């Protein structure tokens, strides 16, 4: 899952993008890249994203004439994954309409594409090579042209704005998220009879800049208000081990939902609802899949990427509080990852890598929604979330790779980790409340 614009922010953005320039009639507008990470803006938290990924958005009016073509000139990043996806705006339910993942992007001549298969990054092929892609205004044909995305005006009954999202996940070589995988942001041009025109020169600052500012302002204001509202936990006192509350149950987000917000087509999401009133801690365990670039994963890793993030519930706010990435996760000797979620005041001393555990902060809401992502599976990984056909019983397909969860009293966790028990034994003790 990606960000979910608030209704108010999106309405403001659409209203501003629809304004004509001073003294002119309304005309189609294209806005160049803008980061959707608001964590650095006035203390706001990022919106429902994987914190090891860079997310950029640009906006293109769906009212450009059919056949209008935008050219994207970019470089393959030093990263685990990147993609372009086109969605319509919130008034049309922010549906992902067109997608171009890295492994389907043909490189320019004399360049190579290190993303050689759906689940593989070939690090022997140097990143930094060049590619050319296109965004075409018009319906997507049954066989899309190579390296091409489409903005179908029929998908915008309100004559709204296409959202073009550029994602870069898990940059290599210690690069920060803000470095876009060690290469410049892709350059976008409008093709005309008189040559290519940089989109940046088409951007109307009072429209694009103000609209994007309003979106961020609404997000930040909402997040800060809710952070203060939910800052104090409902249950600061220890919670008894018995009776053991009903465990949180993960469910698979429907990948074919017509009402979901800007999902990444290359990811499947499993999430559970948890709260602070049922237990001091939440424990999550699942068998850890192998992933691209992992030592020992071989030439056919099970996934390109996986992560577990602690999110706020979407009906409260859209914040992501913390994440565990596959390449930094602690994996226990049994091949499972075990994650403890708690408020900092209840973080157990032994919820650490030395005892085989990961730890995530609960966040600033009394409810939360930990989200487990699986990205681009190998065709041979039959237990991936991508192969689930029964949304009511994903475990039947995923087996031990399906995340299990339990509430736990801190006293139970402390006792059993203090006895040097394995994470599996601790998890079982928490389930039994003993």
Strand partners, 289: none
Q: 241: exposed, middle or buried (C-beta count within 10 Å: 0-12, 13-18, 19+)?
A: buried
User: Which residue is associated with the tokens 């390449």?
Assistant: 327
- As for how many domains the chain has, the answer is 2
pLDDT digits (tens, 9 = 90+) for 142-186: 999 999 999 999 988 777 788 899 999 999 988 988 899 999 999
Alpha-carbon span 75 to 268, nearest angstrom: 26
**pLDDT tens digit at each of 434 positions of the chain:** 444 444 444 444 555 554 444 444 456 778 888 776 543 333 444 555 788 999 898 888 888 999 999 999 999 999 999 999 998 865 555 678 899 999 999 999 999 999 999 999 998 999 999 999 999 999 999 999 999 999 999 988 777 788 899 999 999 988 988 899 999 999 999 999 989 988 877 665 555 665 555 555 566 666 666 666 655 666 778 888 999 999 999 999 987 765 566 678 999 999 999 998 899 999 999 999 999 988 888 899 999 999 999 988 876 667 788 999 999 999 999 999 999 999 998 999 999 999 999 999 998 778 899 999 999 999 999 999 999 999 999 999 999 999 999 999 999 999 999 999 999 999 999 999 98
The CATH number for 387's domain is 2.60.120
Q: What is the pTM of this model?
A: 0.89
pLDDT digits (tens, 9 = 90+) for 193-210: 989 988 877 665 555 665
Q: Of 184, 218, 252, which residue is a domain's last?
A: 218
Whether 257 is in a domain gets the answer: yes
Question: Residue 406 region, left (φ>0) first, then alpha (ψ -120 to 50), else beta?
Answer: beta
User: Which residue is associated with the tokens 């179908």?
Assistant: 152
| CA–CA–CA angle 86, 8, 30 (5° rounding) | 40
The CA–CA distances, whole Å, from 362 to 57, 231, 337, 365 equal: 29, 11, 18, 8
Whether 2 is in a domain gets the answer: no
Alpha-carbon span 183 to 174, nearest angstrom: 14
281 with 190, same domain: the answer is no
Whether 1 is in a domain gets the answer: no
201 with 278, same domain: the answer is no
What is residue 50's predicted lDDT score, i.e. its pLDDT? Answer: 86
Domain that holds residue 74: 7-218
Whether 226 is in a domain gets the answer: no
Q: Of 193, 218, 243, which residue is a domain's last?
A: 218
323 with 200, same domain: the answer is no
376 with 325, same domain: the answer is yes
Contact call for residues 75 and 205 (beta carbons, < 8 A): no
180 with 250, same domain: the answer is no
End-to-end CA distance of the chain: 36
What is the DSSP annotation of 241-293?
Answer: SSSPPPPP--EE--TT-SS--S--TTEEEEE--EETTS-SEEEEEEEPPPBTT
Largest distance between two CA atoms of the chain: 76
The CA–CA distances, whole Å, from 388 to 258, 286, 369, 372 equal: 18, 16, 21, 15
197 with 275, same domain: the answer is no
14 with 145, same domain: the answer is yes
Q: Which helix (H) or strand (E) holds 64?
A: none
| CA–CA–CA angle 121, 123, 124 (5° rounding) | 130
Whether 396 is in a domain gets the answer: yes
272 with 211, same domain: the answer is no
User: Which residue is associated with the tokens 């993303």?
Assistant: 115
Alpha-carbon span 413 to 61, nearest angstrom: 54
139 with 247, same domain: the answer is no
Q: Of 218, 245, 280, which residue is a domain's last?
A: 218
What is residue 117's predicted lDDT score, i.e. its pLDDT? Answer: 96
**DSSP state for residue 163 in the 8-state scheme:** E
161 with 298, same domain: the answer is no
Whether 227 is in a domain gets the answer: no
191 with 278, same domain: the answer is no
140 with 20, same domain: the answer is yes
Sign of the four-CA dihedral 295, 327, 2, 251: positive
Whether 229 is in a domain gets the answer: no
Alpha-carbon span 342 to 346, nearest angstrom: 6
Whether 26 is in a domain gets the answer: yes
Strands 148-151 and 130-137: parallel
User: Which residue is associated with the tokens 């290599």?
Assistant: 172
């Amino acid at each position: 899952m990606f960000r979910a614009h608030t209704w108010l922010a999106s309405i403001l953005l659409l209203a501003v993008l629809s304004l004509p320039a001073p003294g002119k009639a309304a005309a189609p507008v294209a806005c160049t890249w803008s980061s959707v990470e608001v964590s650095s803006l006035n203390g706001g938290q990022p919106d429902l994203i994987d914190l090891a990924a860079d997310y950029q958005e640009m906006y293109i009016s769906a009212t450009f004439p059919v056949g209008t073509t935008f050219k994207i000139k970019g470089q393959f990043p030093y990263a685990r994954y990147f993609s372009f996806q086109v969605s319509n705006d919130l008034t049309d339910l922010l549906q992902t309409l067109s997608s171009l993942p890295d492994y389907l992007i043909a490189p320019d001549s004399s360049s190579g594409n290190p993303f050689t298969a759906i689940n593989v990054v070939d690090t022997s092929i140097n990143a930094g090579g060049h590619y050319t892609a296109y965004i075409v205004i018009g319906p997507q044909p049954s066989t899309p042209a190579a390296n091409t995305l489409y903005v179908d005006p029929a998908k915008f009954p309100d004559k709204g704005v296409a959202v073009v999202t550029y994602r870069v996940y898990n940059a290599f070589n210690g690069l920060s998220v803000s470095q876009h995988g060690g290469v410049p942001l892709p350059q976008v041009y409008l093709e005309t009879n008189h040559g290519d025109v940089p989109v940046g020169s088409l951007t109307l600052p009072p429209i694009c800049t103000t609209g994007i500012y309003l979106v961020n302002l609404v997000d930040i204001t909402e997040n800060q208000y809710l952070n203060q509202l939910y800052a104090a936990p409902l249950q600061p006192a220890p919670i008894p081990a018995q009776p053991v509350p009903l465990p949180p149950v993960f469910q698979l987000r429907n990948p074919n939902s017509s009402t979901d917000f800007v999902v990444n087509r290359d990811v499947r999401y499993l999430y559970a609802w948890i709260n602070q009133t049922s237990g001091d801690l939440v424990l999550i365990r699942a068998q850890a899949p192998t992933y691209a670039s992992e030592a020992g994963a071989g030439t056919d890793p099970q996934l390109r990427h996986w992560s577990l993030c602690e999110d706020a519930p979407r009906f409260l706010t859209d914040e992501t509080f913390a994440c565990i990435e596959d390449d930094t996760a602690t994996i226990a000797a049994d091949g499972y990852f075990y994650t403890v979620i708690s408020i900092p005041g209840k973080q157990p001393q032994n919820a650490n890598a030395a005892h085989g555990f990961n730890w995530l902060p609960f966040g600033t809401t009394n409810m939360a929604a930990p989200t487990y992502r699986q990205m681009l599976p190998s065709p041979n990984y039959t237990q991936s979330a991508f192969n689930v056909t029964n949304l009511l019983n994903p475990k039947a397909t995923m087996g031990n790779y399906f995340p299990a969860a339990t509430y736990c009293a801190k006293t139970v966790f402390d006792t059993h980790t203090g006895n040097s028990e394995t994470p599996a034994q601790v998890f079982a003790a928490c389930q039994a409340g003993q």
